[in-house]
Amino acid sequence: MRELLAFVDGDRLRADIEATAAFGAVDTADPDARGRTNRTGSAANRRARDYLSERLREAGLSVTVDPVGNVAGTWVPDGADPEAAPVASGSHLDSVPEGGIFDGPLGVYAALEAVRALQDAEVDLDRPVTVVSFTEEEGATFGDGLVGSSVATGARSVEAAHALTDDDGRSLGEALSEIGYRGEGTVDPSGWDGFLELHVEQNTVLETAGAAVGVVTTIPGLTHCSVTVAGEADHAGATAMDDRTDALTAAAEFVGDVERAAVETADELDSAAVGTVGSLTVSPNATNVIPGRVRAGVDIRDVTAEGIERVVSAARDSLARLERDRGVQTTFDRHLDVAPTPMSDRLREAARAAAADCTVESIDLPSGAGHDAMRVADATDAALLFAPSRGGYSHSHKEWTDWADCARATEVLAGAIAAAATDGS
């Protein structure tokens, strides 16, 4: 597919990403940095969805929106079987607060640019191609993330998704209705021949290796846990140190224990295990009151189930020790579990072959973050490609991927889509 190189238009791709960056743009102290806040159900999110829908239709794709706002556009090439299972590609448009401009939109618009390049090159394909944008991948506003892809693959019901609420009590169903994206169409990955997602790496492996594209081997499993540590609130001045049951000092030990367990697990298993206590709510949260209660949110990930279980077990052991040693009461609720997800060998090989054909250096690597591809892999073959992240920054206005790297990764994506959409290739 070397002929595709002349048809992937880096300027056209850049224009789409920069237009999307304007929806929810945030001011930054660094004039060279670009940030955006694009929460699902916001006015900025509606504008981003409208812009995408317009671009899809301009390229001749038929557009559908499902009940949770997943947007999909399908192109049926001349000569392709319109009833054949399509090859799909895409990502998401929502962002974390003050996030970067590439996380999500690169994958959506690289997929669209791949379709436009295939159209311009008049490549003969046997299957349709679908461009998709999933709702609420980040989980910054509703739920724990991967909401749209979890509904599309049957892991979550439409009703359960609609019932998710934001911090103000507004439900996802209400938010989608307000912005006009509570649709009636169907986005069903089980009917796809395969799915390829391009995303920024969010790490420095590609940058360090000098490679332009990463072909992901496995997306890590993810566990979220909610922990409470209950002590006794009391006067900060009148209560002797030996008479205290301080929930926050106990919680601080728990935070250190989770970090230590993740480090030891990664070393012992030679894995990518990580453990993060990312949120703390302290009560009554007054300077002159000994903390009586702490709620903590725990995020544990690894590319192996064993690594996740080790860190979870260590977290439970830590709480048991704190109850014995510090007299606190604790609870542990493991409310989200997503297993490690290996990527499709067939689509990974198509991506590696496309990179070689484009004379683009690619390497195999695991993902550190979760992506919609891990949900889609439950329904059909899925692959995840990475473009380099300068300095590894992401979920930050410092996030940056050079425009030339965006274009090169899109060339590889287009070649992989073409190969997957050609029977017998």
- The first and second tokens of residue 135, run together, are 């709702």
Looking at the fold, whether 8 and 72 belong to one and the same domain comes out as yes
The Cα-based distances of 72 to 69, 82, 309 in angstroms read: 10, 16, 37
The pTM score is 0.89
- The first and second tokens of residue 94, run together, are 């929502």
Q: How far apart are CA 422 and CA 112, in angstroms?
A: 18
7 part of a folded domain: yes
Averaged over 374-386, what is the pLDDT?
97
pLDDT in tens, 15-43: 999 999 999 999 887 777 799 999 999 99
DSSP element (H, E) containing 382:
strand 382-387
pLDDT in tens, 43-98: 999 999 999 999 999 999 999 999 999 999 999 999 999 999 999 999 999 999 99
Looking at the fold, whether 269 and 166 belong to one and the same domain comes out as no
Q: Answer yes or no: is pLDDT of 1 > 70.
A: no
pLDDT in tens, 96-123: 999 999 999 999 999 999 999 999 999 9
pLDDT of residue 143: 85
Final residue belonging to a domain, choices 338, 354, 388 = 338
Final residue belonging to a domain, choices 277, 306, 338 = 338
247 part of a folded domain: yes
pLDDT of residue 3: 65
425 part of a folded domain: no
**What is the tally of structural domains in the chain?**
2
Looking at the fold, whether 195 and 160 belong to one and the same domain comes out as yes
DSSP labels, 263-315: HHHHHHHTS--EEEEEEEEEES--TTEE--EEEEEEEEEESSHHHHHHHHHHH
Which domain range does residue 315 map to?
Answer: 221-338
374 part of a folded domain: yes
Q: Answer yes or no: is pLDDT of 160 > 80.
A: yes
Q: Answer yes or no: is pLDDT of 368 > 60.
A: yes
Q: Assign residue 257 the CATH number of its domain.
A: 3.30.70.360
20 part of a folded domain: yes
Final residue belonging to a domain, choices 338, 372, 390 = 338
Residues near 154 by Cβ (< 8 Å), separated by ≥ 6?
190, 379
Looking at the fold, whether 346 and 278 belong to one and the same domain comes out as no
